[in-house]
Every structure is written in structure tokens, then in C-alpha cells.
């Protein structure tokens, strides 16, 4: 562990370096909320750092809509493919991989290696496509619990996620209360609002109404509903940024003066088109539909007459809740709902509202106050573990 | 004027009754901001009330995105087709047609009777379709000024509009400063923000990328880009409602329980699909594209290095500015920008921020405080005219 020690001694944060995705195969059937059962399934995952001897320093990272298990480091064959939370996870970073063993997993129904619409349906030997069942946050967490068993992790030091990832951390606290010590719920909400669902629905309709969607069996036709994906991403992107940030970054700047045409004239138009195009090039439409549905469905209070305090009654772990002032997708008020429900249950909860201009996307960025908050929290988690150097 | 007097004496507001759209034909070429010229053009309009003998009681109503010249009353042959601002305009209503002669006009490039993509291009004898030029708020106001000449109205008692209609009222004050006494600018903004443009761009891309759009020449193919129009309207609709109102009206209500499918499950989904479908059935896609562009382009301060106070330097009329607390499309801050620029110029300006839950759409609804504000303002306008009964 010389390099880790060196990293911590010189105080410089580094990348975890080259990493390799792994894959776990599960043969015990997984019943899903929709009523279907996956007889077998696979999960793609990555790990960073070293599991200590008493297997107590493991942290699970849950991803949001379009992300994957590739959280930190890069791939040898693709050095530019840096993990989506590389600023957060690594030696000397807020979630310090010299102290913690970090596990990240691609969710069921996603398109980056775990079982989902683009993977092979064992029953047919063909890609699942539209036949892959709709999955929920609860299903994801159940699958992640299987991965914990597989890795021999009886209890997570922490489960952490932003946005939809935060919902998974919250779900872990409710569903497997004895199997985690801390939940970090960042830029999240206990359920979507009508407006949140409305935006998801427009994105879904863009995909569902794309003539290249073929009822979800586009792969059989050698097609992809790129138009729908483009629109879904353009729209999503607006909700990830704050009005203020968009104004500061783009305002009414023109590319080359007014053209009086429908070519992209304003910089914001060009930016959104670029983001949409890029996304349509790599993301799977059936996955997008399923992940937005999982978002819409998440509502742990629903089984308790809408009482979130009741829903969290069995939670035992400590919580860090973080929200961002300019996030209008999941405003701070939504985080405070979670906080209040935890306080009702006399749970150990810390809450930070970060004054950041970047809207919902702030959870992915390296705002100093935000990172310091997470770093300090993990120092506490490490202290609780009775941190031992060089284990 | 017995009926008008009776109306005012019993204090009950009534409909203007059955109305008929009219059409004015103009043969003096109209130069447009884009560089093109319309050699001839037509404007569809309606009038309510009676022009007084000194032609001083005329009020112009400007419409927003998807509305028309049919502001008040109904059509004999379609009694259900009530004007879009019928709660505002009529005998005994805030804009009282027993006192004022109200003129409403369909804007150039729209699809309800004025020259636009669905009207006939005199040069070809075919519908204009995609060949109709892009028009601006300034072009609309210039065309409205021609209509004022045609009707013999040298000076409007007031020009009034909400949202994009408010931009036209503002533009009148700048462009024809001596030809109006009052401007009522409601739920509006001096220019779109980057986020406003972003939403418009997603809506446009939905239309432009619809395979049934055929580069705007869908009519020649006997087609209509209904998918794109549906999406554009669904998205627009989200921005017209407040988060609070959507939550109160729909929340997470389900239609018939979870289906684990992409059928509409939540009430908000069903509502948006219905609104989208309805809109796609009557609105013209080329018109939608042009009107959103006119919104994006409007920026009177641009010619003055972004200085709105300079842009309003020549304005002479008095102003009533109204905004609504829950309007996140054009928040109150945008109205205050206009107010401050007018105060800089020592103009006569009244400003009311109405505490209403309905978001941007509030300008169309009959909120009591809002209507009382408009009513009181028009009482002032009438008093200034030296109102004469029975004229």
C-alpha cells in the first residue's frame, strides 16, 4: 500500500488509475415488482480500493439515469473514458479509495453490461429488447443485495448516490436496514412530483412515437429511435441545469448572428443539439424508458398512506442528505422532506444545503463546499470503522 | 345602447354575444425584419363594442402563441367556440365593451385566417407552407399598425396582451410611441432567457425531426407532423402550469393502478397526452415554428447594447405591468426588469404582482385580484377619455 500512503501523505488527489469492469452471474431467480421473475441475471460492476480484513469498509455507489458502473478511473484501452464520479472517488478524494473499498454496479435494465434490453434473453438467445420487464428502484436494490452477498459484504459502510442514485440509497435504508451503516442521499427526493413525471412522460413519448422505435423491437429492424432519444436528452438536459447557470453560460449568445431560419442560431440551441446527438449515439431507448419509469414509480411512502415517516420507521443507518440551492428538478424542499421524516424517527441525520449555481447537475461537479461536506462525512465513517492504516 | 346601460346598471358581466371574424386586405408591401417583403397580406380580426365619435376608445388585444383574433363572444355556427379571453372582454367585464371598442387581430404567420403558412401564396396560388417568411414581433406590430390605419384609429386608448401578447404591447410603445396612450403588459418579459429558448428549441426539434414534416411542405404530401406537434404542446403545457398547481391538480394520482407498461398510468400523463392530441388536431406546425422563433428573437434592448432603459427611451404611453407569483416561464423578476427600465425613463408605470397559483396560464384565468387590477386600470383609461355615456 505504499502508493496509497504516499498519496495521502502528499495530500494530492489521484485517479484510481486503469480499472476493469467485472461481471457477476446470478442463478437464483429474482422476483420483480412487476410480477415477472428473472431466472438468471448478470450485473456489471467495478471495484476500487481494497476490502479490509473484516470486510467492513465497503461503500456502494448507485448510479442515476444515464450513468453506469464506471464511476472512477479509466479503461486501459480507452484512457479518455474517465468514470462519471471520478472527482469524488479515488485516492485522496472525498470518498478515499485508500480507506474504502468502493463498489459500483450497473443497474438491471440499463445498457452498459448488466441484464437489460440490450443483453441476451437466455430463453430466446436474442436480445431482450422490449421484452425486458419494467424494473423498479426496489428491484435494483434487491439485485445489489445479491451482489453484496456475492462479494461477501454483509454490511456496507455506506451506500451513496445522487438523484435516482440517492433514491436507491434511501431504499437500501428501508429495505435492508441492518445491511448498511450510512446512507448518503444527494440531490434526491422521496418521490417524483407531478411536474417531474410530466417531463419524463414527454421524453418517453418522444421515444415511443419515433417511427424507428418499432414497439421497442428496433434492434431486430437494425434501427435505433435516435430522434426520440435526442429529444428526450435535450429536454432532460434543460432540467439538469439551473436557469441561472444556463443564463450565465449561454444567455442569448448567437453563433453567427440571426439567420431567420431553423438552423441553430443561439448557442444554447447548438449546445442542446450536440448533447442530444451525443446521447442518441450511445444510449439505448428501451433503457431510457425503463429508467424513467423506475423514477416515476419510486414512492416508499405510498405503502404507508403517503406517510414518509412511517416508511422510514425501520431504517437504522445514519444519513447524510445533501441538496443544492439551484436544483429545480429536486429542490432542497424535497431533501428536507426526507430529513424531517428521519427526525420524526429520531434517526441520526445530517443535512447540508449547498449554495451552488449548477442546478441538479451540481451533484456531479466538484464544488468545494459540497466535496468538503462529503469528505468530512467519510472521515467520520472511517473513524467509526476504527480505521487501520495499511489493511 | 340600452342593453349596454342595462348591463352596467345591473352589474352583471355578459358575453359580447355572437361575433363574426372579419378580414382586411392590404396591398401596400410590408417589409419584414428577415429582409423579405410581403407584397400583399391579409389580417383576420374581430371587433367588440362601438368606436366612439372621436375614435378615441379603441383597445387592441394582442395574442400569444396558439391563440387567435377570436378573443370574446362565440360564433353563431359554433356556440361552444368561446373566445380565449372572454372572461376579460365583454359588457361589464374588466375590459368593458360598453365603454371600449376592442380590436383583436390574428398575427401574420399564424394559422387562423391571417396571411401565413396555411394561406395562399399569391405568387404561386398554392399554400405558402415552409415558404412563408419568418416573422418577428416587430413585423406583427407593423402589420397591426396597418390595421389601425385601415380602421381609422390614429391612437389606441390601450394595447394589451399577455405573454407574447405583452411583448407586442411593449413593442407598440417603442415602435409607435405616439399611437397608444396605455400599454398593458401581462405575464411577459423583455426577452427570453436561455432556458426559455431551450424549451422552444426542443419543441421545434420535435416538429422538425418528425418524418411527416417534409421540410415544412407536409401539406403537399397530404400529411401533418402530428407527433411533433403533440410533443411540442405537451412540453409547452408543462411550462404554462406551476409546479404547485400541477401537484394540487394531479399529484401522483393514478388512473387505474400501476400497469408496469408505457400506457398512461398517472393522471398527469393522461392529461398531457390529451392536451397534445387536441393541439395536434388543429394547430399548424409551420406556424408553431414561426411563433416560437418570434418569441426567441424579441429583444428590444439588443439594438441598445442590451440596455432596456435606452430601448424604452422613446416610449410615451403609461404602463400597467402585471406578473404572477407562480409563473416560472416569465417570473415576476422579468416584469420588474421592464418596470425598472420605465422608471429609469420616468414613465408612468403601475406594477402588480398577483399572488395566484396557476403559473403562466394565470393570465388567461379570472383570478379576482388580477381582474380587479385590470378593471381599475381601465376605469382610469376611461376617465382619461372623458367617458361619455351612450356615444
pLDDT, tens digit, 9 for 90 and up, residues B255-306: 998 999 999 999 999 999 999 999 999 999 999 999 999 999 999 999 999 9
pLDDT at position B186 over 80: yes
Q: How confident is the model at residue A8 (pLDDT cuts 50, 70, 90)?
A: very low
- List the one residue out of B324, B360, B109 whose CA is nearest residue B237: B360
Q: How confident is the model at residue B10 (pLDDT cuts 50, 70, 90)?
A: low
> Measured between CA atoms, how close is A315 to chain B, in angstroms?
24
> Which sign, positive or negative, has the C-alpha torsion B285, B290, B293, B299?
negative
Q: How confident is the model at residue A387 (pLDDT cuts 50, 70, 90)?
A: low
Q: Is B296 a catalytic residue?
A: no
Q: Is B389 helix (H, G, I), strand (E, B) or coil?
A: coil
> Measured between CA atoms, how close is A181 to chain B, in angstroms?
31
pLDDT at position A260 over 60: yes
pLDDT at position B156 over 50: yes
Q: Dump strand ranges (E) for chain A.
A: 22-26, 30-31, 37-38, 41-48, 58-62, 89-90, 95-96, 101-105, 120-121, 126-127, 158-162, 182-186, 318-324, 349-354
In degrees, rounded to 5, the angle at the alpha carbon of residue B205 between the alpha carbons of residues A198 and A221 is: 85
CA distance A275 to A280: 9
The answer to whether the Cβ–Cβ distance between A247 and B195 falls below 8 Å is yes
Cross-chain CB nearest to B246 (options A195, A260, A264): A195
The answer to whether the Cβ–Cβ distance between B262 and A209 falls below 8 Å is no
CA distance A88 to A377: 13
Q: How confident is the model at residue A30 (pLDDT cuts 50, 70, 90)?
A: very high
The answer to whether the Cβ–Cβ distance between B252 and A194 falls below 8 Å is yes
Q: How confident is the model at residue A257 (pLDDT cuts 50, 70, 90)?
A: confident
> Measured between CA atoms, how close is A205 to chain B, in angstroms?
7
pLDDT in tens, A173-199: 999 999 999 999 999 999 999 999 999
The answer to whether the Cβ–Cβ distance between A238 and B266 falls below 8 Å is no
pLDDT at position A263 over 70: yes
Radius of gyration for chain B, computed over Cα atoms and rounded to the nearest angstrom: 21
* A234 contacts chain B (CB < 8 A): yes
Give the pLDDT of residue A224.
Answer: 97
CA distance B380 to A337: 48
Residues in B closer than 8 angstroms to A33, CB to CB, are: 260
- Residues 305-324, chain A, touching B (beta carbon < 8 A): none
Q: Is A360 a catalytic residue?
A: yes
**Which chain B residue has its CA at the smallest distance from A195's CA?**
B243
Give the pLDDT of residue A11.
Answer: 55
Asked whether the ipTM of the predicted complex exceeds the cut of 0.85, the reply is yes
Q: Is A327 a catalytic residue?
A: yes
Residues in A closer than 8 angstroms to B289, CB to CB, are: 262
Percent of chain B residues topping a pLDDT of 90: 94
Amino acid at each position: 500500500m505504499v502508493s496509497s500512503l504516499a498519496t495521502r501523505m502528499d495530500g494530492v488527489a489521484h485517479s484510481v488509475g486503469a480499472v476493469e469492469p467485472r461481471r457477476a452471474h446470478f442463478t437464483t431467480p429474482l422476483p420483480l415488482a412487476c410480477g415477472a421473475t428473472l431466472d438468471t441475471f448478470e450485473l456489471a460492476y467495478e471495484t476500487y480500493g481494497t476490502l479490509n480484513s473484516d470486510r467492513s469498509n465497503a461503500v456502494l455507489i448507485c448510479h442515476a439515469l444515464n450513468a453506469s458502473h464506471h464511476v472512477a478511473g479509466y479503461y486501459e484501452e480507452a484512457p479518455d473514458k474517465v468514470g462519471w464520479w471520478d472527482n469524488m472517488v479515488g485516492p485522496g478524494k472525498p470518498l478515499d479509495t485508500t480507506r474504502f473499498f468502493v463498489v459500483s454496479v450497473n443497474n438491471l435494465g440499463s445498457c452498459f453490461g448488466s441484464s437489460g434490453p440490450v443483453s441476451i434473453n437466455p430463453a430466446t438467445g436474442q436480445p431482450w429488447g422490449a421484452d425486458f420487464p419494467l424494473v423498479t428502484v426496489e428491484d435494483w436494490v434487491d439485485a445489489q443485495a445479491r451482489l453484496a452477498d456475492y462479494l461477501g459484504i454483509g454490511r456496507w459502510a455506506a451506500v451513496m448516490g445522487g438523484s435516482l442514485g440517492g433514491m436507491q440509497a434511501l431504499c437500501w435504508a428501508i429495505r435492508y436496514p441492518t445491511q448498511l451503516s450510512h446512507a448518503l442521499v444527494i440531490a434526491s427526493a422521496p418521490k417524483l412530483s407531478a411536474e417531474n413525471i410530466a417531463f419524463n412522460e414527454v421524453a418517453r413519448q418522444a421515444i415511443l412515437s419515433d417511427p424507428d422505435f418499432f414497439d421497442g423491437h428496433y434492434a431486430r429492424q437494425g434501427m435505433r429511435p435516435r430522434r426520440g432519444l435526442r429529444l428526450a436528452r435535450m429536454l432532460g438536459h434543460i432540467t439538469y441545469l439551473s436557469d441561472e447557470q444556463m443564463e450565465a453560460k449561454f444567455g442569448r449568445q448567437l453563433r453567427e448572428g440571426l439567420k431567420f431560419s431553423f438552423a441553430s442560431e443561439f448557442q444554447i440551441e447548438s449546445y442542446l443539439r450536440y448533447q442530444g446527438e451525443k446521447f442518441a449515439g450511445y444510449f439505448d431507448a428501451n433503457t431510457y424508458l425503463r429508467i424513467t419509469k423506475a423514477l416515476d414509480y419510486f414512492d416508499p411512502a405510498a405503502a404507508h398512506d403517503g406517510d414518509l415517516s412511517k416508511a422510514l420507521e425501520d431504517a437504522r443507518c445514519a444519513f447524510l442528505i445533501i441538496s443544492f440551492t439551484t436544483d429545480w428538478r429536486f429542490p432542497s424542499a424535497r431533501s428536507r422532506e426526507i430529513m424531517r421524516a428521519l427526525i420524526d424517527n429520531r434517526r441520526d441525520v445530517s443535512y447540508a444545503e449547498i449554495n451552488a449555481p449548477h442546478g441538479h447537475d451540481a451533484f456531479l461537479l466538484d464544488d468545494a463546499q459540497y466535496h468538503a461536506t462529503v469528505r468530512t462525512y467519510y472521515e467520520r465513517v472511517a473513524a467509526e470503522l476504527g480505521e487501520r492504516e495499511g489493511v
